[in-house]
Each structure stands twice: as C-alpha cells, then as structure tokens.
Structure 1
Amino acid sequence: MNVLTGRQLGRALLARQHLLARTGREPAELIHHLGGLQAQAVPQPPYLGLLSRIDGFTPERLTALLEQRAAVRIALQRGTIHLVTAEDCLTLRPLLQPVLDRALRSTYGARLAGLDLDALGAEARALVEAEPRTFQQLGALLAATRPDRDPAALAQAARCLLPLVQVPPRGIWDRSGPAAHTTAEAWLGRPLERAPALDDLVLRYLAAFGPATAADLQKWSGLSRLGPVLTRLASRLVAFRDEHGRVLHDLPEAPRPDPDTPAPVRLLAPFDNLLLSHADRTRVLPEEYRGRVMTQNGIVLGTLLVDGLVAGTWRLTGGQEVAVRPFTALRPADEQAARAEAQRVLDFAGGGGTVRFEPVDGER
C-alpha cells in the first residue's frame, strides 16, 4: 500500500478545494461540491470562503441564491450551521439527524426528561411555519404550555427535532438580521428526501476532502461508526497509508498532485471547513499554530496560507481594513502575494480601505 506524505495530502486537499487554482464554477455548483460552507458566524465566512475559490465572485451572486431560496442556512455537519444548496438541505439533513439527536441528549437531556418530544416537535413546527421565529420567541411560546420547562432548552429541542432554516436577511452580506427560523419544507416547498444514501455522502466527502481516514470522515460529519460504510465501498475506492500507518481512502480518479506543485498564497475565511474536516489537521495546519487559530471559546480565525500551510491569521474589520498577522517573517514575494489577496478582499467588500501587516511576535 503506497504511503502519502503530509505534503502530498495537503496538495490533494488544496486541489479539490480549488485553492491551488481558482475556479470559474457557479457558486451553487461549488457549494454543492464542498458539501456546504460553515456559516455559524454572520455574514462573512461563506462569502469569503467562495471568494477565495472562485474567480470573479461578487457578494450579489451568493445573496441571490439565499433570497431565491436556492441556498439555505441550516444545522448540519457537527451540528453547526452550514450554508448549503436547497437540494443538499433536503438530502443532508435526514442523513445527519443522528448528530442532532446526540447533541440533544448530551446537552439538554436532563432538562427535557419526561417531555413528550413528538408533541413538542409538532407544536414547534406549527409555530415556525405560521411565521419565522427566533429561538427566544419560540422558546417563550413553547414554555407557555410547559411553564416548568426551560424555554432555551425547549427551543434547542425544536432545533434538533426539526429541519429549521434561518431565513433572510440573516446571513446576507451588508444586511443580516435576527436568526429567525422556519422549516425547510415550508421554506423550500418540498419534503426532505425519504431515503438518502449514506454511501453518497461518503463519496462526496472524499471528492472534496480526501484522501482521508474513517476518523477524518467522522470528524467532518459528526457521524460515528462509518468504518463499515468504507468497507462496503472498498471496491469503488483506492487505499493508501499516511506516514503514521493509518489507512487512507480515496476515489481512484480524484486529483493527487505532485507534492512540488506550487501552492499560491491564499486568505482562508474564518471557520473555513478546510481546517475543520479532518481528525488530523496537520496536512494544512501545523500543530504548533493550532491554538493560535482555534480559540478556547470555539472561534476559528481567518488564516493565511503560504506554500499550502497556515502561516498566520487575518481579519476584515468594518469592510475598511484587512489586518494580516504572520506567525513568522514572510519572504518578500509571499508578503507581496498576501497583500494582493488582502486587497482582493477589500475590493470585494466595496473598495477603499487599507491593508495592514501586524508585526510578527518578537519583532515589536
């Protein structure tokens, strides 16, 4: 079984994520390919995630998808909010229901003990389909008939029991709004898929994030016990090992570029799934930098990629400034490329503004 180095894995991942070369694909097509974009923070991450991957991308192209109900924001992988196409919402939500069930039991189980969850779900569905509600509003309404229960726990139970989408203007670039919810069925006018195939989910993950281990797949999705699925798919896959001896699964025809393929400087969006979709993130995120990118309170900062690896962080503030903070001194060519990427973000945000490089630690 051939061994793939960390650099080979990194180049394969960047190629599949369109971070070696930007694509001209339509936003909806790329969102589908990526299995969605993490979108719990609003509104920047999905927009900036597409900007880093698509030539000529403008905010209006994603805003139109949200307003036309061709894309939605809904809790999916790992129980977190993702922006996905309407079709993927109807397919992925049933497949990932076990993730939401587990979250409900582990976080709110004691506060919901003895509660008729079927009745709660039916009442919550009627309330949000009558008009979109925030969780604060929904919890208060559900608690009116259950005065001995915690309204926040009731609202979160509804979030796990029902496929709740956040309706615009929530998540719209330069607008946003309160996180008001209705059901996917009501918003899209179609039912959830009755019997989506877990095999398809696994193959799609490998197309966008492979080669990968079973643990990687489980980290991305939040699902458990996926080893048997990979075993069932073995005749359609190829296998490798990484430098630690772990078995990697992949699609035979998926790109695995030469490890010496140049990787251009890129600015990754905050919460980019490139950093969140493997149990072993070191193919793109050196372990020594992990704590500087992923904070203790669950924030994942925007990151600077140099030669295919995280080499710093960045942030867009008020649409007027991009501040880049390298972890080590950059070569002049890499700093120039990072400055060009930062200017590209400013142009996307409306033009004007400044690019500022913060000093490397120890250089103040």
Structure 2
Amino acid sequence: MADGVRYVDVGERRGRLALRQRLAPEARAERPEEVAASLVALHGTDPATVYLAVGARLTDPAGTVPETGRALYEDRSLVRMHGMRHTVFVFPTDLTAVVHASTGRAVAARERAKLVGDMARAGAPDAAWLKEVEESTLAALALRGQATAAELAEDEPRLREQFAYAADKSYEGVHTVSTRLLRVLGVEGKVVRGRPLGSWTSSQFRWAVAPPHPELDVPEAQAALLGRWLAACGPATEADLKWWTGWKVTDVRRALAAIEAQEVSLDEGTGYVVHGDADPVAGPAEPWAALLPALDPTAMAWQARDWYLPPELRPRLFDYSGNVGPTVWWNGRVVGAWAQRPDGEIAWHLLDEEGIGTAERTAIEAEAARLQGWVGTSRVTPRFRTPLEKELTAAKSSPSGV
C-alpha cells in the first residue's frame, strides 16, 4: 500500500468476479431479475445470449426460458433496449431512465438527424411528414400492444415508403421508412423490443411502446450508471470505464468524482471502486467452473482482460470484430471454449490446462451437462462465430474436453 491506496491483486479480482457476477455456485440467483440487477446489463445483440447468461447463473436453470420470457414480455421487469456503445442490452426496468439519459439521448439526436438528412438528400418527405408518421405509428402500437413493422404498416401505410441512401457510393441502397424510424424510436427510448416471432433464440422481434420513465439530468444519470457498474465490476480502470460506457473521458471522470469513487492499485495501473469498497474481499469457498455464452457480460465487461483471459487464447476465442465467443471458465479465468453441435451435444475444449486435472475436468463436464439439460432440444448458434466455436461445431462427435 502506498499513500493509502491499496493494491488489489489478480486473485482478489477473480474472487470478486466470481461472487458479484454470480458465477460461483454459492452466489447463484433464484430469478432472472436478480441476475440482471447484479450484472447491470445483459448483452442483447444475440438474443440467445440473454438466456444463456441467465441460465449459467441460476441455482436451478430448468426454468431459464419461461422465467426469462416472463420477465421480458409479461412482467416487463426486464427491458431490451439500446444502451452503451449503441448496442442492444437487456436492463432491469428501473434502470431504463438512467440508461436513456446517460448514454441514449446523445446517440438518439444524431440518429434522428441522420435519418432526416438521408431522407432529404433522397428527395423524400420532410421532417414534419416524418413526425406525423411517428405519432401515428406510436398510437397504432399502443392500441396493438405489440406488433411487427409489417403489422404497423397496415395501420400506417406511409411506413412502407422507401427512399434511396448513399447514392453513388459502394454501399448505396434503399431503406424503408419503417426500418429506420423504428430504430430511431428505439434509441430515443420510445419503443422497445417485444416478444420474438419465434423461439427464445429468434432475432425477429415485435415492437412495444417503452415503459414510461422520467427524463433525468445527464450527469446525474451517468453517475448512477457508473456507480451501479463499479459495484458489480470494480475495481476497473478509467480505460475500462470509458470503453464500457462509450462516454468521453471527461464524462467518466466527472461521474467518478460525483460518486466519490475510491482509488486502488491494479497491475494495469490506477483502478476505482465505489466508495467504501476498497477493503479486501474474500473469494468463493470452493473453486468453480462455468460455461458462458458468446458476448457474455462478464467476458466483455473490461477492456483490459489479461487478468482473466490470457492474450494467447484470444485469436481462437474472438471474431475479427472483437466479439468473444462461448467460453469455458475455471476458478476466475478463461481456459477454453464450448459449442453446441448439430446433434445437440455440448462440446468443449481447453486451451489453457494449467492447474486442470481430473477433478477440474469433472467439474467442467458437470457444467456442460447442466447446460445441456436445460437447453434441451433447442439449437444455439452464436450470431458472431469464432474460430474455436466453429471447429467444435464442425467436428465429429467425440469426448468433450479434448
């Protein structure tokens, strides 16, 4: 310790991760809402990730699909919406106002301006016309409760209007008003994704009117979001915070000051925890194993990942855009990957076998069986394919862990 700043080593960080990310068996939750509250946000770009991330953290994962569906589409205690870095996440409903004010409002202004500009350049109707269509669409959606874009176009035919964009560019194309407008309304927090057209793995969603929420002050909302995330993921560096939120560094620093975050020392440099969280934290009672999905919020939480994901493993675990695939964890570090083969088998492979013996393999195999037990007959293919996941999927059936 120097100048009152405590050093937090890798072992403690992994212990905090195990308990606060609900990965150790003793920390598992009873309901999807508890998982989402602990993680702050569940990545929603790939719909299956939400369910797989929840199931990995439930005491009894057998009810993962119906219970997560209930929370999302019946109770609305969880909401799928745009959030940090212009990415779709699932949040606890009580965080929607915070997320919208802290990260969505500025993006929404840019998205609307871009839509209006693209339509103007294409000679399409003006902003006043677009506003009429928007109001009519929201009214129709409120009456229907949930609807697809095609269903809404039955009530508001102007949604079918098309306009060209990026003329004379290599990416020139045609957009339908419904596609662009509903996207903008989503970023603005006026509509959210509703129940999918297919199963829990489907990426085709209906739309629903967003739950009402107050309009918060931006600095206030940023402080609230950063505080929630640090409580779940701290300690983290300024670079981690800037990456996860997508904010400017000045916004991150202002929010850190507002919550009176405490400094700690990390291998990467200065880190931060919420006020009062700098004391040593004991890890879980027993070593643990986990199979986490592609884009899992734990694997993607920090920008600097060396303390839980060795750099030499990354080429086979990430796609070319930096999206992490399905991962196998042992006691706080990523040691390999898993995949579901066409016949439904959950196959896994270790890339890092340090400290992995018979007992550890047995624990990992038990987690694979636990996952296979609740996924059942569903077939899950990650939206973003990674080298090792594709290898495991294509391989002929063989004993797991090889």
Note the 1:1-364 alignment, pairs <5 A: 1-20=5-24, 21-42=26-47, 44-57=48-61, 58=63, 59-68=65-74, 69-98=76-105, 100-101=107-108, 104=111, 111=118, 120=130, 123-124=133-134, 126-127=136-137, 129-131=139-141, 132-134=147-149, 141-142=158-159, 144=161, 147-149=163-165, 150-151=174-175, 155-156=179-180, 158-161=182-185, 162-163=188-189, 164-169=191-196, 172-173=199-200, 176=202, 178-184=204-210, 188=211, 191-195=212-216, 197-224=221-248, 225-234=251-260, 237-253=261-277, 256-258=280-282, 262-297=286-321, 299-317=323-341, 320-329=344-353, 330-350=356-376, 356-357=399-400, 359=402
* Residue matched to 2:170: none
Deviates more, 1:277-286 or 1:291-300: 291-300
Cα distance in 2 for partners of 1:255, 1:173 equals 41
Unmatched runs of 5 consecutive residues or more in structure 2 = 142-146, 166-173, 380-396
TM-score normalised by structure 1 residue count: 0.81
Cα distance in 2 for partners of 1:19, 1:82 equals 20
Q: Secondary structure at the match of 2:163?
A: coil
Question: Contact 1:36–1:83 (CA<8 Å) still a contact in 2?
Answer: yes
Q: Cα offset for 1:336?
A: 0.7
Deviates more, 1:207-216 or 1:110-119: 110-119
* Residue matched to 1:362: none
Deviates more, 1:12-21 or 1:87-96: 87-96
Letter in 1 for 2:59: D
Question: Contact 2:17–2:332 (CA<8 Å) still a contact in 1?
Answer: no
For each residue in 1:249-306, what CA deviation from the matched residue of structure 2 results, as whole angstroms up to 9, or x when unmatched? 3341478534796441111122111121212122322222223222014542110001
Cα distance in 2 for partners of 1:77, 1:171 equals 27
TM-score normalised by structure 2 residue count: 0.74
Question: Contact 1:267–1:302 (CA<8 Å) still a contact in 2?
Answer: yes
**Identity value in percent:** 22
Question: Contact 2:77–2:92 (CA<8 Å) still a contact in 1?
Answer: yes
Deviates more, 1:281-290 or 1:255-264: 255-264
Cα distance in 2 for partners of 1:84, 1:340 equals 30
Question: Contact 1:32–1:88 (CA<8 Å) still a contact in 2?
Answer: no
Question: Contact 2:21–2:232 (CA<8 Å) still a contact in 1?
Answer: yes
Unmatched runs of 5 consecutive residues or more in structure 1 = 360-364
Q: Secondary structure at the match of 1:240?
A: strand
Q: Cα offset for 1:311?
A: 0.6
Structure 2 CA distance for partners of 1:142 and 1:349, relative to 1, 3 Å = same
Letter in 2 for 1:147: F
Aligned residues: 349
Question: Contact 1:11–1:258 (CA<8 Å) still a contact in 2?
Answer: yes
Pairwise CA RMSD: 3.6
* Residue matched to 2:388: none
Q: Cα offset for 1:343?
A: 0.3
Q: Cα offset for 1:134?
A: 4.1
For each residue in 1:301-352, what CA deviation from the matched residue of structure 2 results, as whole angstroms up to 9, or x when unmatched? 1100013111111123468210112114442111111110000011112389
